[in-house]
């Protein structure tokens, strides 16, 4: 049984971790922290978890207690894992960070986008980017995992087959992406209030979004060189979901793109390449650790359109984190994650 600790258990990714781990046959949450809710039973804050975590209460983070765990998930704002990850690693505890603290390999680049110096640059070389479809072998032996962001997960999985095959014009990639309001987190924000977000639709951070360097970093690896990416995120009036509409120019029209995508993801348990002509919906992945992809070539031209959908809280965050844990501990990758999406 894998003993699990969670730092920062009161946000959306924290409660999603609890929901997923509650049905995991080989994992037990033994400690969960929150400075603001210390002493409160988990089930009192989250009634949906009644009967699953009786006796588990929130506590103040303590390195000794967390260090007794086999793995600790950080479900915290950026900068928090910097301060504790090193101590936990020294104690022999594996770390899976859901924040952006270890996603970028360049400490100066991280500081530029997050407005503060990187707090643990000495750990960046060890951190493994936790996209299993790319780094599964490295994840198996990792001590420190950086869980990819939601936009980066949907976007990279959609572009990867084209870039790895050398088919796309790497200088002109476009990612037109939409997110539900839960992507903004559980903290109070006027922009994510129901009255502000409902019956409206808007782009934001067009000049530059924090996920841009993460996406570009991953696409460069896949392409084996520089890429030019235009990334435009949008806020949509739904709670969960990411929909990425991706555009790439492909000169060689003779390649069967459907077959290319199906072959690339044939052995991936959480990527579903849909039949030709499909249009995946965000509701088809709600609550599930699945990325559904469809590839189109409109009018048979050289512009390829890839549609990629995920649940931002599952495959885009907590589900992918559990998937990484399973790989790290030699467990069946699908444990705790095999449930179907919720409809309606």
**Total Cβ atoms within 10 A of residue 53:** 17
pTM value is 0.96
pLDDT tens-digit readout, 117-148: 999 999 999 999 999 999 999 999 999 999 99
pLDDT digits (tens, 9 = 90+) for 269-325: 999 999 999 999 999 999 999 999 999 999 999 999 999 999 999 999 999 999 999
Cα separation of 283 and 269, whole Å?
19
**303-310 β-sheet, strand order:** 202-203, 229-235, 173-179, 242-249, 303-310, 291-296, 271-273
Chain centre distance of CA 239 = 16
What is the CATH T-level fold of the domain 2-126, as seen in this structure?
Rossmann fold (3.40.50)
41 DSSP assignment: B
Task: Label the pairing between strands 271-273 and 291-296.
Answer: parallel
What's the CA gap between 111 and 126, in Å, rounded?
A: 18
262-283 pLDDT tens trace: 999 999 999 999 999 999 999 9
Distances (CA, A) of 20 to 36, 85, 336: 23, 23, 6
pLDDT at 183: 84
Q: Is the pLDDT of residue 163 over 70?
A: yes
Q: Roughly what angle, to the nearest 10 degrees, separates helices 150-164 and 132-140? A: 100
Q: Where are the domains of the chain?
A: 2-126, 150-312
Of the two residues 75 and 195, the one the predictor is more confident about is 75
> HEC states along 162-207?
HHHCCCECCCCEEEEEEECHHHHCCCCCHHHCHHHHCCCCEECCCC
Distance CA 177, CA 149 (A): 13
What pLDDT is stored for residue 188 in this prediction?
Answer: 62
CA distance 281 to 31: 36
- pLDDT value of residue 192: 74
Query: What is the pLDDT confidence band of residue 198, given thresholds at 50, 70 and 90?
Result: confident
Tokens (6 digits) for 242:
């990411």
Residue 189, pLDDT above cutoff 90: no
* Predicted pLDDT of residue 338: 94
Q: Could you report the per-residue pLDDT of 219-261, keeping only the tens digit for each?
A: 999 999 999 999 999 999 999 999 999 999 998 989 999 999 9
Burial class (CB in 10 A: 0-12, 13-18, 19+), 296: middle
Displacement of CA 161 from its chain's centroid (Å): 19
Q: Which residue has the tokens 């730092």?
A: 7
Radius of gyration of the chain measured on its C-alpha atoms: 20
* Of 136, 137, 109, nearest in space to 124 by CA: 109
Q: Which residues pair with 272 in a beta bridge?
A: 292
Q: Which residues contact 263 (CB under 8 A, 6 or more apart)?
A: none
Per DSSP, 317 falls in state I
pLDDT class for 197, splitting at 50, 70, 90? confident
Average pLDDT of the residues in 57-65? 96
pLDDT level of residue 89 (50, 70, 90 thresholds): very high
What percentage of the chain has pLDDT greater than the value 90? 92
Which pLDDT value is given to residue 23?
95
Confidence of residue 185 (pLDDT cuts 50, 70, 90): confident
DSSP for 54-73 reads: TT-BEE---HHHHHTSSEEE
Catalytic residues: 150
The CA distance from 322 to 336, in Å, is 8
Q: Which residues contact 81 (CB under 8 A, 6 or more apart)?
A: 7, 74, 95, 97, 99, 101, 102, 120
Dihedral pair phi/psi, residue 90, rounded to 5°? -65, -25
CA dihedral angle for residue 183, residue 188, residue 194, residue 198, rounded to 10 degrees: -50
Q: What is the CATH number assigned to the segment(s) 150-312?
A: 3.30.360.10
């Amino acid at each position: 049984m894998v003993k699990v600790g969670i730092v920062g258990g009161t946000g959306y990714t924290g409660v999603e971790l609890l929901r997923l781990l509650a049905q995991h046959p080989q994992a037990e949450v033994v400690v969960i922290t929150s400075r603001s809710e210390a002493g409160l039973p988990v089930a009192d804050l989250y009634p949906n978890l009644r009967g699953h975590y009786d006796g588990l209460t929130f506590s103040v983070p303590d390195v000794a207690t967390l260090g007794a765990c086999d793995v600790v998930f950080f479900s915290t704002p950026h900068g928090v894992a910097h301060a504790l990850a090193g101590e936990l690693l020294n104690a022999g505890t594996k770390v899976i960070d859901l924040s952006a603290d270890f996603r970028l390999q360049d400490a100066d680049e991280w500081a530029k986008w997050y407005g503060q110096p990187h707090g643990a640059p000495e750990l960046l070389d060890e951190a493994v980017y936790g996209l299993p479809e790319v780094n599964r072998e490295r994840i198996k032996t990792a001590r420190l995992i950086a869980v990819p962001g939601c936009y980066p997960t949907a976007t990279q999985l959609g572009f990867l087959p084209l870039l790895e095959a050398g088919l796309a014009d790497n200088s002109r990639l476009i990612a037109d992406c939409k997110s539900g309001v839960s992507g903004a987190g559980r903290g109070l924000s006027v922009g994510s209030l129901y009255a502000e977000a409902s019956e409206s639709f808007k782009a934001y951070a067009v000049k530059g979004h924090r996920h841009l360097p993460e996406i570009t970093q991953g696409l460069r690896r896949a392409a084996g060189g520089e890429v030019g990416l235009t990334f435009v995120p949008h806020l949509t009036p739904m709670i969960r979901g990411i929909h990425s509409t991706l555009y790439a120019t492909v000169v060689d029209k003779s390649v069967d793109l459907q077959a290319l995508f199906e072959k690339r993801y044939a052995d991936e348990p959480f990527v579903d390449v849909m039949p030709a002509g499909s249009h995946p919906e965000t509701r088809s992945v709600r609550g599930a650790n699945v990325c559904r992809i469809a590839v189109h070539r409109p009018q048979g031209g050289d512009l390829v359109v890839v549609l990629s959908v995920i649940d931002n809280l599952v495959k885009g965050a907590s589900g992918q984190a559990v998937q990484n844990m399973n790989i790290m501990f030699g467990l069946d990758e699908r444990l705790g994650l095999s449930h179907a999406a919720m409809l309606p």
